[in-house]
């Protein structure tokens, strides 16, 4: 059954966006938006008000951590999952201290995305 | 990786031809048994557990055995048993060359002894290389050129060799090349690592190599150097550099990296280290400075 989550994928890599979209579709997410850099991520987060955002860290124009801070200032409730190949403890701490919901390390596996979507849906149901 | 490296040593010494090497490496694939397969065969792990460890290996720079022990699937003793089972990996190349009648086993043994003597390897170093220790092999490749190269680039190249094997092709052979061997007409995909140990990293590739690496990484057959193909190679570099940053952070050195750049021609930097990267998917150059 299709879930009602809207998801914004933000990554400068076309390949990652394509793979993440396909993974999210397997997780029954139907409303999926895309952004190619941090500037677009902030604009689309404001305009589309998604429930979940997958946000890369190393990106041109505006990096993921800066975008995260701006997105959380606009919408404190959105669940931002940082998705990066750089999973150092400094990056993790910085992301979590700025309100990131979770962190997944690239290469992104179907299991890690499915686990997060399941967690978000479960929390949503508990809050109803 | 030692099979590829030693195979090229035999080639460079004129002991076998390129065709014979290619044939022997292809042939040994059919007899080479991977660690996970032996673990299942021995009844130590299930195939699901092996899959889980392989997935984890794509994210962290650790050996199969280390991860399996951390996850509680193997004990240290079982890992030791599996290593001794697998450690004769170079014998597969010997077997392939002998089976195909390209060398006798005596000729192979003599070449192996000469290799050890020629590179002034201690017994421990030689044993480590034969047992597939990539760190020691890379140290040997770099130190035979210039001792300072190992200190500057050793960790990076060692990880790169492992990531080529993990993500692109198990048959990898690296060699330090001359600066003049860079082709300015090649595509150049680069990324700068910034911090106390800054590093400029890049791949110089012709169209065929770019498409070959891109197709493997993207898991689809790419036939045109378009945005997706360039992006796939660029993302492989980004992933490798990300894992390198995690390793360096674990060693107490915090680094960051800039977004990747893609250029239609390779800039010829002064003082760069050029490493030829050969694999069954094609050859390209790793450029570091």
Instruction: Find, in chain B, the residue whose alpha carbon is nearest to that of A62.
Output: B259
- Indicate the helix (H) or strand (E) that contains B276: strand B273-279
CATH superfamily of B151-288: CheC-like (3.40.1550.10)
For residue range B130-177, list pLDDT tens digits in order: 767 788 888 877 877 777 888 889 899 999 988 998 899 877 888 888
Q: What percent of chain B has pLDDT over 70?
A: 93
Is B231 in contact with A88 (Cβ distance < 8 A)?
Answer: no
Report yes or no: B239 and A106 within 8 Å, Cβ to Cβ.
Answer: yes
Cis before A107? omega within 30: yes
Burial call B134-170: b when 16+ CB within 10 Å, e when fewer: bbbbbbbbbbeeeeebbebbbbbbbbbbbbbbbebbb
Alpha carbons B116 and B167: distance in angstroms, whole number: 30
Hey, is the C-beta of A21 within 8 angstroms of any chain B C-beta?
A: no
Contact by Cβ (8 Å): B20, B96: no
Rounded to the nearest 5 degrees, what angle is found at the Cα of A38, between the Cα atoms of A37 and A44?
Answer: 90
Residues of B in contact with A58 (CB under 8 A): 238, 242, 256-259
Tell me which residue of B222, B145, B160 sits closest to B193, measured CA to CA.
B160
The answer to whether B247 touches B136, Cβ cutoff 8 Å, is no
- CATH code: domain of residue A21: 3.40.50.2300
Interface of B with A (CB under 8 A): 55, 58-59, 217-218, 227-228, 231-232, 234-235, 238-239, 241-243, 245-246, 249, 254, 256-259
The tally of CA atoms less than 13 A away on the side-chain side of residue A75 is: 19
Q: Which of B231, B248, B253, B260 to mutate to test the interface with A (most CBs of A within 10 A)?
A: B231
CA–CA gap between residue B267 and residue B255 (Å, rounded):
24
Summary mean pLDDT of chain B: 85
- pLDDT score, position B287: 93
Cα(A50)–Cα(A4) distance, rounded to whole angstroms? 11
In whole angstroms, give the CA distance from residue B94 to residue B107: 10
Taking the CA of residue B59 as centre, how many other CA atoms within 13 Å lie in the half-sphere pointing to its CB?
Answer: 18
At B191, the pLDDT band (50, 70, 90 cuts) reads very high
The whole-number pLDDT of residue A128 equals 53
Q: Does the CA dihedral A109-A112-A116-A117 come out positive or negative?
A: positive
Pairing of strands B261-263, B273-279: unpaired
pLDDT, tens digit, 9 for 90 and up, residues B227-258:
999 999 999 999 999 999 988 988 889 899 99
- Whose tokens are 């990056």? That residue is A91
- Where do you find CATH 3.40.1550.10 in chain B? 151-288
Residue B24 has pLDDT above 90, yes or no: no
Q: How far apart, in whole angstroms, are the C-alpha atoms of residue A87 and residue B242?
A: 7
The Cα–Cα gap between B159 and A21 comes to 29
Span of A4-8, B31-35, B46-50, B284-288 with lowest mean pLDDT:
B31-35
Res B222 pLDDT > 60: yes
ipTM: 0.88
Question: Does A105 have pLDDT greater than 70?
Answer: yes
Quote the number of domains for chain A.
1
pLDDT in tens, B87-103: 555 567 777 887 888 88
Q: Out of A85, A90, A106, whose CB is closest to B249?
A: A90
Nearest to residue B78, comparing CAs of B198, B86, B252? B86
């Amino acid at each position: 059954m299709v879930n009602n989550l809207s998801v914004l994928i933000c990554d400068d890599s076309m390949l990652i966006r394509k793979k993440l979209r396909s993974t999210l579709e397997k997780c029954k997410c139907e409303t999926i938006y895309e952004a190619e850099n941090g500037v677009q991520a902030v604009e689309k987060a404001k305009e589309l008000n998604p429930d979940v955002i997958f946000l890369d860290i190393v990106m041109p124009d505006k990096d993921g951590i800066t975008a995260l801070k701006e997105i959380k200032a606009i919408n404190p409730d959105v669940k931002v999952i940082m998705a990066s190949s750089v999973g150092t403890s400094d990056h993790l701490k910085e992301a979590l201290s700025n309100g990131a919901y979770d962190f997944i390390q690239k290469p992104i596996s179907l299991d890690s995305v499915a686990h997060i979507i399941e967690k978000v849906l479960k929390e949503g149901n508990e809050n109803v | 990786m030692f099979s590829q490296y030693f195979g090229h040593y035999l080639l460079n010494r004129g002991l076998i031809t390129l065709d014979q090497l290619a044939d022997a490496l292809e042939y040994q694939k059919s007899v080479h048994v991977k660690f996970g397969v032996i673990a299942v065969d021995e009844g130590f792990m299930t195939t699901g557990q092996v899959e889980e460890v392989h997935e984890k290996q794509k994210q962290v720079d650790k050996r199969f055995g280390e991860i399996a022990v951390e996850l509680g699937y193997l004990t240290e003793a079982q890992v030791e048993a599996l290593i001794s089972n697998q450690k004769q990996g170079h014998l597969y190349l010997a077997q392939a060359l002998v089976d195909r009648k390209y060398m006798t086993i005596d000729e192979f043994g003599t070449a192996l002894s000469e290799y050890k003597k020629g590179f002034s390897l201690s017994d421990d170093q030689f044993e480590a290389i034969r047992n597939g220790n990539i760190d020691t092999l890379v140290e040997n490749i770099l130190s035979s050129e210039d001792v300072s190269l190992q200190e500057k680039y050793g960790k990076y190249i060692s990880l790169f060799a492992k990531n080529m094997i993990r993500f692109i092709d198990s048959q990898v052979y690296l060699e330090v090349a001359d600066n003049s061997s860079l082709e300015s007409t090649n595509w150049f995909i680069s990324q700068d690592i910034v911090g106390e140990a800054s590093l400029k990293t890049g791949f110089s590739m012709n169209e065929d190599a770019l498409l070959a690496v891109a197709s493997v990484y993207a898991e689809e057959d790419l036939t045109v150097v378009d945005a997706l193909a360039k992006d796939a190679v660029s993302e492989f570099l980004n992933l490798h550099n990300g894992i390198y940053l995690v390793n360096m952070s674990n060693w107490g050195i915090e680094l960051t990296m800039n977004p990747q750049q893609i250029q239609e021609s390779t800039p010829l930097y002064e003082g760069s280290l050029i490493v030829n990267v050969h694999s069954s998917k094609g050859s390209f150059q790793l450029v570091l400075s």
